[in-house]
Every structure is written in structure tokens, then in C-alpha cells.
Amino acid sequence: MTDLCAEDLAAIYAKPSPRVIAKARPAIDAHAKKFIEMSPFCVLATSGADGSVDASPRGGGVGFVHVAGPSQLLMPDRSGNNRIDSFRNVVEGSGFVQLLFFVPGIDETLRVGGRGTLSADPDLLASMIEFGKPPRAVLNVAVSEVYFHCGKALMRSKLWSSDKVERSVMPSIVTVIHDQTGLGEPASQETVEELYKTQL
């Protein structure tokens, strides 16, 4: 198998249309703001000092990412695995971040890019209590690019289809990690879900 080079890509793919180029906006407009305020889930991508890339799922109540202005987003950080790969990349790496927002039932997605910084300001944390707890930190994104992706990828995947995979086809995450590492004890999915409820 031969790897493609830049010249190969130019031969395979047509140039994007002026409309596709123009849809990338420098700030959050009314449509993007509405989409973010409806979104309970996004993927956060960051880049490290060594050139590595991390992508991490983030979720909360609808509109958990706050639109603080046309060029500013505030994302509260909730309980997780404490690896903090994304946040290490923000403070030690390039600082560039990309967010991909999803709204259940809508096939289009929204990408927001910019530079991130972190804050643990007590007043800011206290203003973002959810699930009865303040966040541990807040990601502040200085937005530089915003654009909607068409719905083709989600339509192809039928992501919002009512045909869902039964959870029972996979062991619980605790069991998977036990099998992979030999650490901890396996547990049922029901046990894991009850544990999650206390850690949100």
C-alpha cells in the first residue's frame, strides 16, 4: 500500500466550493449559539507539546457549555478519570482546541476552534453547579473559527436511529479494564451505572 502525498490529494478531491469556504465564521452567530445551547454532548480535541492529539467526550445537561459571548465559550469540567490529558495539552501544548457539538436528533454538527485556557476561580466554579456539584475547573475558549458540518456522516451512520445496540452485548467497562489490566474486580453493568450516579 502506497501512502498518498499532497499532490495525490489534489488529484483525487475537487476544490471546496466558495460556499463551503465562506461558512467558516470567525465568531459565534445566532445559529451557532442556539445549537450550542441545545447540545448536551461534544468532543474536545487538543494537541500536546510532542505533537500528539487527544480527543475526549464531554457531556452534561443541555447547554452545559456556556456561550459567554461571540468569541468566548466556557466549559465546566466534571468528574472523570483524572488523566487530564486534554488539560495538560492546553497548559503545556499548543493551547489550540477544537470542539465538535452534537444535538440528539439533528444530523448536522457544529465545530468550534480556538485557544484554550483554564480557570479555577471560585466565583466562576460556583456559577456552574450541576448535579449538585461545582466543576473542578473551567475551560475558557477564545473562539477563532466556527462552522457547521453537513449531516452526511450522521445520516450514513444512522446515529440517531431507534435501532440501538443492546448494552448487554458488551461487558461493563469495569470488567473490560479488569480483563485488560488484571486490576480491580469485575462488576456488572448495573453496578457500574449505580456507581456513576454518585460520581456525576
- Rounded to whole angstroms, how far apart are CA atoms 53 and 143? 19
Q: Which domains does the chain have, with CATH numbers?
A: 13-161 (2.30.110.10), 164-199 (no CATH)
Does residue 200 carry a pLDDT above 90? Answer: no
Instruction: Give the model's confidence band at 197: pLDDT under 50 very low, under 70 low, under 90 confident, else very high.
Output: confident
The whole-number average pLDDT for the span 88-107 is 96
Q: What's the pLDDT tens digit per position in 27-84? A: 999 999 999 999 999 999 999 999 999 999 999 999 999 999 999 999 999 988 899 9
How buried is residue 174: exposed, middle or buried, by Cβ count under 10 Å (0-12/13-18/19+)?
Answer: middle
Cell output for 147: 462552522
Look at residue 127 in the predicted model and tell me its pLDDT: 96
Tens digits of per-residue pLDDT, 131-187?
A: 899 999 999 999 999 999 999 999 999 999 999 899 999 999 999 999 999 999 999
Separation CA 29–CA 25 (nearest Å) = 8
The cell for 141 is 475558549
The rounded distance, in Å, linking the Cα atoms of 177 and 169 is: 16
Q: Pick from 52, 33, 148: which is nearest to 96 by CA? A: 52
Mean residue pLDDT of the chain comes to 95
How much is the pLDDT for 199?
A: 83
